Each structure stands twice: as C-alpha cells, then as structure tokens.
Structure 1
Amino acid sequence: MDLESIPGVGEKTARSLSVLDDPEGALRTGDVAAIAAAPDISQGRAARIARGAIRREHDDPGGFLATDRAREVYRNVLGLLQERTVTEYAAQRLETLYPSARRSRIEEVQAFASEAMEREPDPAVLEALCGVEPLQQPGDVRVRERCLATTDAERYAEAREAIPELPVEVVEDAQGLAELARGYATVIALDESFAGVTVEGDVQVEPDALENPADVVPERSLAFFARNRDRLRAAVEVHRAADLEPACDLETLTDGLSRLAEDGTVAGDDELDRLTTAANDLDAATGTAESVANDHLREAIREQDVTIEGSDLLSLVERGAGVDSLLSRELADEHAAAVEAAREHLIEALSLDPGEAELARRVFTDEPAFPVERDEDALGRLRTELTAAKERRAGRLKRELAADLADQRTDARELVRDALELDVELAIARFARDFSCTMPTVVEADARSEPVGFAIDGGRSPLLDEPLEAIDPVDYEVSGVALLSGVNSGGKTSTLDLVASVVVLAHMGLPVPAENARLQQFDDLHYHGKTQGTLDAGAFEATVREFADLAQGGEGSLVLVDELESITEPGASAKIIAGILEALSENGATAVFVSHLAGEIREMAGFDVTIDGIEAVGLVDGELEVNRSPVKDHLARSTPELIVEKLADESRGTTAASSRNESRNEGAEVGFYDRLLEKFD
C-alpha cells in the first residue's frame, strides 16, 4: 500500500507509519491504537488517518454531509455514541465511523454493528474497562550493573548496535577484564580467547552473546510488560468478566505479570529480596554494628577498674605501646565480646548466609582498637559479593521470566486490542438500547425500480433533550418531493432532525432510532436549518446559487429544508421554493421542505407537489394537542386557525345559553369568528 495515497497522509506521516510492524493491517482494520503507536501521531490524528484509509479502501470520495447542519447532526449522533464509551480509545475509534454513500462500507459496518448489538453491557465489564488503555512502548532501557567486553574494535561496534542497553568496553587482556569486574557486577566477555581465564568477580565468557540478546539483556523483553502491566491486568479482567475468547492463556500471563515489578525487576522472590535488601542496607547496618561494639566497650570501661603495676607501665611505655595496647591487656575479653557483637549484628541485620557471614566477620578485626572501626577493604569485598550475588540471581530470574513472557507479546497486544474493541461494540449496544434502535434496510441505488426515499415507523429523534419515554413516536414516509406543514411547536423541525439522524446513522452502517426504517442509499445529505431573519442581498444570492447547483445535479440526494421562506419576503419565497421543488422533482431527488406557505407554494408549483401535515387535534388549557406523525396529503391547520375555531365554538355555546335580549350582540360576535374561520378555507 502506498501510504501517501491515503487522504491526509503526507511524506512525513508516511515515514512515521512505516515504523509500525504492520501499518497496512492497522490501516485496513481502523486500529487507532496501533496507528497511534507511530511516532508523533496522537489518537485523534490516528482516527483521521484510519478514516482516510477506509475511504481509500472503499473508493469513497467523501462529502456525504453536504451542509453545516448535516455535519452538525452527524457530530451530535456521534457524540451520543461517544458518551457511551468507557475508554478514550473507543471514543476515538468511533471517529472512524462516518456516513458513506458506498455500499461496501455501509455493509461492512452493518455486519460489525449487528454483532455489537448482541452484546450485553454488563456493569462488571464496564468497570473493568476503566483500566484498559492502548499499550505503550517502553522507554530506552539502560542497564548499568552489567557490561560487554571485547578486545576487537569491529566487535565493539557490532555489540553497541546489537545490544544498546549495555555499556560496551574495550580491553587488552585479562588484567583489563579484572579491572572491569571491579566496577561492574557482571562482565560478559565476547571473545573466546578469554575462555579459561580466572579473574576475581563475576565474569562470563559468551562469544555468541550478540546472537541471543534476550539472554544477555532480558530487561529488553520485560520492559514492555512492566510498562503495560496494569493495562494488561485490566484487559485480563475484561476478558474474564465478558467471557471473551482470549488470545493467550490468561493464567500464564497473570502469573508472569505477578512476578514482575513496575520498574521491570523480578518480584516475589525471597532470596532476591534478601540480597537486594542486604546490598542496599550494608552501609547502614555496618554503622549500627560499629555503634553496638563501641557502646559495649564504653560501658565496660566505665564499670571496670584498671590497675597497672609500675613495672608493667614502664615496660609498655618503653616498647612505645599506646592506649590500645594497655586496653588489650586489661580489656581483651571485653573487646573481643564487643567485636563479636558487631559481627553478629551485621550478620543478623542483613540475614546473611554462611558464606556471606564469613566475609562479614572480616569487616571487624580482632585487633584491639577504640573506637572499633570497620575494615574498608573487607567491607568492599562483602559489598561486591552481595551485589554480584544479587545481579546473578536477578539475571537468572529475569531470563526465566523473559522466556515465559517473550512469546506472549503479540498475543498480549491482541488481548488489549480486543478489550478496547469490546468498548466500541458496547457503546453501539448501549446506544441501540437507550434509543430503541433497529438495523435499517438500505436499498441499493441499482436495485430501485422506482423512487424509494425513506419510510420511518415509530421513530424518536435522538437529538431531543427529553427522556425516550417522553417522546412521541413518529411515522413518516416520503418518496420524491414533499412539503411539510403544521402548527408552530408541532414538531416539524424535530421531524426533520429525526429523518436526518436516521439517514446519517444508516449510512454510517449503524442502527437507527426507530421500530422500522427503510431508505434508499443516498449520495449526499443537504440539510438546511432555519435562518435567523431575512438574508441580505449577498447572502440571498449565495443561497439561491447553492440550490441551483443542487437542482442541476441532485439525483440521489436527500434535501431537508426548514422554513426557507424566512430568507426573503413571503410572496417571493413561495415562488422561489416552488421553482426549487420543480427542479428537484425533475432530477429525481428526495426532498422535504418545512413551510408555513405550503398552500401558496402548491399553487405556484408546476407539478402536483405532495403536502403532508402535522395535525393539531385541538387546544387544551391553552396547550396544543398534536399528532406528531405527519398525515399524508394533508395541509395542516395553523395555530391561529385553531385559536379562532376555539373562540367560535366557545361563543356558540355562550349564545345558546344567553337570554333573547343579549343574543343580538353575541350573535354579532359569533359572526365575526365565523367570518375569520371562512378565510382559512
């Protein structure tokens, strides 16, 4: 796939995408998380790139949403879907769903959405989804306690490229190797010539190390799982709660993650914990041991009387002996006890094993001294041994754990992707349940023997800010061109919104808010909302030009217009609308124009235009009672007509109950209301 052929992808973005393991697969499936893993690409950008790739896949030129109001309806219904997601990924993934005029795209999403509607939005699953996020790439791994060593400059360059996580050092001979061993916990010699060389420290001769980097630096594999440990655990919980078929063995993955600490070290090994604690606490424990010994000696000196004969004192002085010598003779036992107490404290405080304990005993010598002090060389040897032992055990455990987890990396990615995709499916399922949706029938253009338009049964506009149960269901069907009349606040605009929502969702391949819906596969949607006041000459001209373009090429279009007469004077509006409807009808477009001038437009139109009406059945306590479903071929009465009729009916009732003397004036009043009613006929 030529990445730059995707709409919105330039040379720089194509380079970023090429870093992915399978950019074509990610683009083909709309995998926003995988695309967002490319350098400098956010999830929002990834969604736009995926949408462009989908358009290319289906040869979709776009442009289905032809007006601002049509695009607003799409953003609103998309927002309702996104409100029902748990993860940010799912919200962005839904951005790849868009209304299309391509049959292949509609059917592709319909298949996905039909399965999604079968999902049960279990609260336990939704809660588990809260912790799921797209997996992240680990940062640069650097290991400081281990190094590679070689005598060859070419080998040095190969090592730096193959295993950048470790320092690489050049040495000349075994002496250089020994010097490295004093500075690193583990030295891995790459040259076979070092085989059999004995040096102090942990030196391993591994000529094949560059061919097996995972064995040399298991941190490379573990870093991925450490960085994504919590996300993987959350994905495991989603699979368990939703009873999904996992891409890997959940118990094995969970066990491996339980042995891995957040920083990439191995967790849960008592011996490693002991060695780590001993190495970290060595200096503090040694200082405390010194205090134990010195406190013991101070107490002994305070409590004991020391008597030295003059000849003994003279002999000691002549030999140049100091206080330590004097104390060694008089307090030898106490000094030995103090040193032994220091040794035991150090051994017990660090929980040292017998071999380590032998090294620890050398930290405090038997030579009499006050205060008692550590032997730095012996302490350094103990530190080296503890650090090396810790590194050896950690390395072995890391290699074992990396071997257990290495083969699960691809499956782990799939595990998280499936959990995130489940959130997308559940959002569709929740939307379908919340708005009582059904999958519509979309009739292919080539399969139409006659104009289909749209037919909606029991539709409820999702754009109304009302609970679903408070919305009256609407039945409406249009084939060809129709005028929609009705009283103010009777639901004409909400009917247009319902039609627009159904058409947009159907062309997205999604379920629609109706008991049943059948519509043709439209090429585009032109929805013009109400204008605010009369347009000036320039804006009026632009509006007429827009309808002129539509009239010339509107076959396959759905045109929804709300009170276009407000753009200019009522008389001129009726003529203009009549002309527009004539052109749309001739071109085979489907159109619904809401207008209070339906009667006047019909008279001026050069064809038998259909007028549908949202009928008000009466006024109750000053409020309209309305049948929200438009009545076919019926010019609905206006609100003023209903009010005049109500006044006439009330006056007639009053007249029948009035006395003969008062009937003359009231009869005149009745005649006035009747005269007004006649004007509406």
Structure 2
Amino acid sequence: MEFESIPGVGAKTASALAEVEGAERALREGDVAHLAGAPGISQGRAARIARGAIRREHDDSSRLLRTDRAREIHRELLSLLQERAITSYAKRRLETFYPSASPSRIEEVREFAERAIEREPDPEAREALAGVEPLEAARDVRVRDRCLVTNDAETLAAAREAIPELPVEVVEDARGLAELARGYSTVIALDETFTGVEVDGDVQVRPDALADPVEVVPERVLSFFAANRESIRAAVAVHRAADMEPPCDLRALDDALSRLGPDGEVRDDEELERLSTAVDDLDASVHTAESVANDHLRTAIEERDVTIEGTDLLSLAERGAGIDSLLSRELADEYDAAVEAAREHLIDALALDSGESEIARNAFPEEPTFPVEHDEDVVGRLREELVAAKERRATRGKRELADALTELREPAAALVRAALELDVELAVSRFAREFDCTMPEFVEDGVTIEGGRSPLLAEPLEVIEPVDYSVSGVTLLSGVNSGGKTSTLDLVCAVVILAQMGLPVPADRVRLRRFSELHYHAKTQGTLDAGAFEGTVKEFADLAAGGEGRLVLVDELESITEPGASAKIIAGILEALGETDTTAVFVSHLAREIRAAADCELAVDGIEAVGLEDGELVVNRSPVKDHLARSTPELIVEKLAREEGTAIYDRLLEKFEP
C-alpha cells in the first residue's frame, strides 16, 4: 500500500507507518490503536489517518458538514456514542465513522450497524471489557545467563541483529569456549567448527540458531505475553461472556497464561521452585547445619567423662596435638554422628537430589574438628551446580512455554481485536437502545421523520414528546417561542448526520435522500453590523448559486437586520433556493411577511400552540403542514378576549388576521 496516497499522509508519516508491522491491516480495519504504535503518531492523528484511508478506499471526496453548527452537532452525537464505549480504543475507533455522501461508505457502516444493534449489551461482557487494552509491543529483554559464540565476523553481525537480547562473544578455540562456559549457564556456538569440542558446562553447537530465535531466547515471546497477559485474559473473559466464536482454544490459552508470571517467568514448575529455593537458602542452611553438628558434638562432650593418662597427655603434647586429636581418639563415633546430622540437615533443608547430595556431603570434613566448619570451596561448587541447574531448568521451561505461546500469538492478537471491536458494536447498540433508534431508509427526495426524539435534548428520553415532520423542497417553519422550532432543526440535522454516518437514527421511522452537503446556520445573536451583514448575504448568495442535493437548515435569519428588510432578503433567498435541487427549512417569526414578499408560493409549516394552561404554553411539537402557526402574543390576546370580554382585546385580535 502506498501510504502517501492516503489523504493527509506525507512522507514523514508514511515512513512512520512503514515501521509498524500490520499497518495495512490496521488501515483497512480502522485499528486506531495499532496505527498509534507508529513513531510520533498520536491516537487522534491515527483516527484521522484511518478516516483518510477509508475515504481513499471509497473514493470519497465528499464533505457533508459545511457549517459550524452542523459540525458541532456531529461532535455532540459522536460524544454520545463514545460515552457508551468502555475502552479507549472503542472511543477512538468511533471517530473513524464520519458523515459521508458516498453510497459505498454509508452501506459499509450500515452493515456494521445492523449487526451491532442486534448485540445485547451483556453486563458481564461490559465488565470484562474494562480490562481489555490494545496489545503492547514486546518489552526490551536482556538475557545474561547464556550467550552466542562465533569466530566469524559476518556471523557476529548477523547474530547481533537477529538476537539482540543475548550477548555475542568471539572465540577462536576450545580454551575460549571453556572460559565462557564457566561464566554462562549455556553457551550456543554458531559455527560448525566447534562440533566435537569437549568442555565442561552446557555448550551447544547450533549453526541454525539464528533461524529459530524462540528456541534460543524464549524470553522474547514470554515478554510479549507477560506485558499483555491481563488484557488477553480479559479478552478471553469477554468472549466467554458474550458467547463469541474464538480464534483459538480459550482453555489452552488461559492455561498457558496461568503458567506465566508478570515478569515473564515460568510459574507452577515444582522442580524450578525447588532449585530456586535451594539457591536462595543455601547459605542459611549451611550455617544451620554447622549449628546442628556443633550442638550435637557439644552435648556429647558434656555428657562424656574422658580420662587421659599422664603418658598419653605427654605424648599428645609432644606432638602438638589439641582437641582435634582428642576428638579423634576419644569421640570419633560422636563426631561422625554429628557430621552426619549436619549433612542430612543440609540435604533435607534444600531438598537436594542424589547428585547434589554427593557434593553437599563433602561440605563437612571427615577429619574431626571443633567447632565443625563447612568447606567453602565445596559449598561454592554446590552453589554453582544449583545455579546452573536452576538456569537450565528455567530456560527449558521458558522454551516449552514459549513454544506453546508462539502458536497462540496471532490468535491472541485476533482475540483482543475482536473484544475491542465488540466494544465498538456495543456502544452503537447501547446508543440505539437508549434512544429507541431504527435504521433509516434512503429515498429519492426530502426527509420524513416519524416519532423522532432528539438525543441532543437535556431531558430524559421518556419525557420527550415524539416529533413527526416531513419536508421536501423549500419550507418556512413558523411557531411560538419555546415551541420547539430549533429543536426540530436539531432533530433533522442529527437524523441526517447519523444516517449518513451509516448509523441508526433516533426515531420510529426515517426516510431521507442522501444529501451532498449539510448547511445548518444557527440563530445569530443580535443584529449584525454592516460588514457582517454583507458577509452573511454573500454566503447565502453563494449557497443559492448552485449545487445539487443539499440540505439547508436556518434558524431565524431575520435577526441579521431589521424585520422589514429581513423578510425581503429571506424571501429572495428562498426563491433562489427553490430553483435548485435543495431541501431547505427556514425557521422564522416573519413567515407571514416573508410569504407576502416572495414572488412565488412558499410552503409554510407551523408548530402550533393549542392554548395556555396556568400561564404555560401547550404545544403540539410536531409541525403541521401548510399551516402558519399563531404567535404567543396572539394566543395571549385571544385568551384575554375570551376571559375579559372587553372590546379592546377583540380589536387587537383582529390585527393578527391575515
């Protein structure tokens, strides 16, 4: 894939993407977390790159959202979706769903959304999702208990590149090999010239070692799984809770991970635990064994009456003999028993095997001495034996576990990706359920909403009055203050944005055309100065100049200048828009004046207040077609005329008649 062909991706970003294994897959699937693993690419940048790749795939050059208010509503809708996601991955992944005019892109997301809304947001699955995170790269590993050996400069360079985790040494002969074997638990010779060389220690001749790095340095695989163990196990829990089809045997994966410690060590290996304990406890056990021997011997001396004749005493003195000779002569059996007790204690305390026990027995001398002391050289040899055995056992266990996990690496990655994608689906499902959404139908013209409930309103869904509204061509929307005109525009805008993202919409039924552009002009705060007024008029002039399939929503444009001039300007704009393939809704309190100023028939819909109760308007929130809604002042005057019966109110009421 040519990364620079993606919109917004330059040479530097393309180079960073090229460093990421699986970048093409991530771009196809919108895997934002994987793309964010590229050097210097944030998750936000990764989402933009993914959107660019999607646009390229669908040859989508559309730009649906053309105004600040339209973009603001899109951000609000996206935030509502993201709030229903558990993982940070899903929140970013949802950013790759954008409003589009491309039929193929919309259909692609619709297929996803239709699957998603069938998902049941199971609480157990959502709880498990809290522990799922995108997989991290393997941690840097440095292994010091084994090394690679070669006598060839080219092999040396290749080894350092292929297996940077191990030290690589250069040796010329058996002597150099033997010296390394004394310093490392395992020496791996890469050259066949070392075949047949016999030296003490674990020396392996493996010319093929560079082709099988897992065998040589299993820590590489174990480090990856250790760094991602909790996330993978959480993904396993998600699959089980959601009854998803897994890419591998979940029990086998779970069992393998249960044998892996947080730092990449192998757990639940009794022999390794025995050797580790023996190494850790060696010094303490030796000193305790000495105490056992000396306590035994001291007791024997205290309980024994020893008689030495004068001639014997003189003989011992002449030979310079001391207590050792006395022990050898008078307490030989007791000394042997004491030393044997020390040996047995050391062997039992460290749980030594037969070979290790033979070395341990020599730690206490045969020749009598008091106090009994261990032979440090022998204890040193025992320590070396135990450490070497421990490291060999650990390496073997690591290789066995790494072999099992290597086969599970890709399935584990797929498992985590599937769990994260499930979170995206569940976010859409929750949004659809909480706002009673349905999938929209695309038709040739206009927008028809049945039972629409705006997700942008602050009220709970159950208290929102459903709105029915249909618009085709150019329409004026009239109505009382606080009657819901702006909310209706927001609803139409939200429905169009969600539909053209390919997502479900908050209504019982929606039919709409696929718009090429969406222009939503929010209410202007206060009258504009001359320069701003000129700019606004130019903007609408450009809007009316051409372009097919656009949706234009405008909220009280009359506030840009004085009412009389506003009515004439809006009438002219609506006339021009009516001559194009545009669907437009203009909210205005000047509907009567605008219609009168227009040179053509303008459709007027109305959000009608049906009366006043306790000083509050009672409003039918669904606009009535071809109906000019009465204003709030007219309703108040009508109420006063009915209740007071005074002529002045009747005269005022007459002024509202067309």
Q: CA deviation at 1:234?
A: 1.3
Report the AA paired with residue 679 of structure 1: K
Instruction: Quote the residue 1:508 is aligned against.
Output: 501
Q: How much is the aligned-residue C-alpha RMSD, in angstroms?
A: 2.1
Instruction: Quote the residue 1:612 is aligned against.
Output: 605
**Cα distance in structure 1, aligned partners of 2:306 and 2:44:** 85
Instruction: Quote the residue 1:659 is aligned against.
Output: none
Q: CA deviation at 1:262?
A: 2.1
Moved more, 195-204 or 143-152: 195-204
Moved more, 97-106 or 154-163: 154-163
Q: Deviations over 1:571-630 (max 9, x none)?
A: 222222222212222222111111111111111122211111100001111111110000
Q: Unaligned regions of 5+ residues in structure 2, if any? A: none
8 A contact 2:62–2:102 mirrored in 1:
no
Instruction: Quote the residue 2:520 is aligned against.
Output: 527
**Cα distance in structure 2, aligned partners of 1:548 and 1:219:** 68
Q: Deviations over 1:292-323 (max 9, x none)?
A: 44454555666666665554444334333455
Instruction: Quote the residue 2:276 is aligned against.
Output: 276
Q: Deviations over 1:118-146 (max 9, x none)?
A: 11111121112111111111111221111
Partner of 2:545, secondary structure, is helix
Partner of 2:481, secondary structure, is coil
Instruction: Quote the residue 1:437 is aligned against.
Output: 437
Instruction: Quote the residue 1:630 is aligned against.
Output: 623
1:640 equivalent to 2:633? Answer yes
Distance of aligned partners of 1:350 and 1:539 in 2 relative to their CA distance in 1, 3 Å threshold: farther
Q: CA deviation at 1:371?
A: 4.1
Report the AA paired with residue 428 of structure 1: V
Q: Deviations over 1:431-480 (max 9, x none)?
A: 1111111111123xxxx4xxx12111110000011111101010111111
Q: Deviations over 1:504-557 (max 9, x none)?
A: 001100010011111111111111112222223332222222222212234322
Instruction: Quote the residue 1:425 is aligned against.
Output: 425
TM-score calculated relative to the size of structure 1: 0.92
Distance of aligned partners of 1:610 and 1:305 in 2 relative to their CA distance in 1, 3 Å threshold: farther
8 A contact 2:138–2:221 mirrored in 1:
no
Q: What is the number of equivalent residue pairs in this alignment? A: 657
Q: CA deviation at 1:44?
A: 2.6
Q: CA deviation at 1:393?
A: 2.3
**Cα distance in structure 1, aligned partners of 2:63 and 2:81:** 21
Moved more, 386-395 or 88-97: 386-395
8 A contact 1:554–1:584 mirrored in 2:
no
Alignment of 1:245-324 (within 5 A): 245-297=245-297, 309-324=309-324
Moved more, 606-615 or 190-199: 190-199
Match of 1:478 among 463, 471, 475: 471
Instruction: Quote the residue 2:49 is aligned against.
Output: 49
Instruction: Quote the residue 2:542 is aligned against.
Output: 549
Instruction: Quote the residue 2:648 is aligned against.
Output: 672
**Cα distance in structure 2, aligned partners of 1:301 and 1:579:** 124
Instruction: Quote the residue 1:348 is aligned against.
Output: 348
**Cα distance in structure 2, aligned partners of 1:71 and 1:306:** 106
Partner of 2:494, secondary structure, is helix
**Cα distance in structure 2, aligned partners of 1:359 and 1:414:** 51
8 A contact 1:453–1:519 mirrored in 2:
yes
Distance of aligned partners of 1:282 and 1:598 in 2 relative to their CA distance in 1, 3 Å threshold: same
**Cα distance in structure 2, aligned partners of 1:547 and 1:554:** 13
Alignment of 1:75-90 (within 5 A): 75-90=75-90
Alignment of 1:193-592 (within 5 A): 193-297=193-297, 309-326=309-326, 328-329=328-329, 332-443=332-443, 448=444, 452-592=445-585
**Cα distance in structure 1, aligned partners of 2:172 and 2:314:** 58
Partner of 1:587, secondary structure, is coil
Instruction: Quote the residue 2:592 is aligned against.
Output: 599
Instruction: Quote the residue 2:129 is aligned against.
Output: 129
Q: CA deviation at 1:421?
A: 0.7
Distance of aligned partners of 1:187 and 1:65 in 2 relative to their CA distance in 1, 3 Å threshold: same
**Cα distance in structure 1, aligned partners of 2:196 and 2:115:** 65
**Cα distance in structure 2, aligned partners of 1:345 and 1:63:** 82
How high is the sequence identity, in percent, across the aligned residues?
73
Q: Deviations over 1:27-57 (max 9, x none)?
A: 1221223322333333332211101111121
TM-score calculated relative to the size of structure 2: 0.95
8 A contact 1:185–1:384 mirrored in 2:
no
Partner of 1:148, secondary structure, is strand
Partner of 1:550, secondary structure, is helix
**Cα distance in structure 1, aligned partners of 2:300 and 2:62:** 94
Q: Deviations over 1:6-35 (max 9, x none)?
A: 122222221121123332222122122332
Q: CA deviation at 1:422?
A: 0.9
Distance of aligned partners of 1:317 and 1:160 in 2 relative to their CA distance in 1, 3 Å threshold: farther
Instruction: Quote the residue 1:176 is aligned against.
Output: 176
Q: CA deviation at 1:218?
A: 1.9
Report the AA paired with residue 462 of structure 2: E
**Cα distance in structure 2, aligned partners of 1:175 and 1:313:** 55
Report the AA paired with residue 286 of structure 1: V
**Cα distance in structure 1, aligned partners of 2:280 and 2:14:** 48
8 A contact 1:610–1:633 mirrored in 2:
yes
Distance of aligned partners of 1:632 and 1:342 in 2 relative to their CA distance in 1, 3 Å threshold: same
Q: CA deviation at 1:489?
A: 1.0
8 A contact 2:138–2:223 mirrored in 1:
yes
**Cα distance in structure 2, aligned partners of 1:613 and 1:470:** 22
Distance of aligned partners of 1:567 and 1:333 in 2 relative to their CA distance in 1, 3 Å threshold: farther
Partner of 1:461, secondary structure, is coil
Q: CA deviation at 1:423?
A: 0.9
Q: CA deviation at 1:4?
A: 1.3
Distance of aligned partners of 1:393 and 1:680 in 2 relative to their CA distance in 1, 3 Å threshold: same
8 A contact 2:146–2:186 mirrored in 1:
yes
Partner of 2:414, secondary structure, is helix
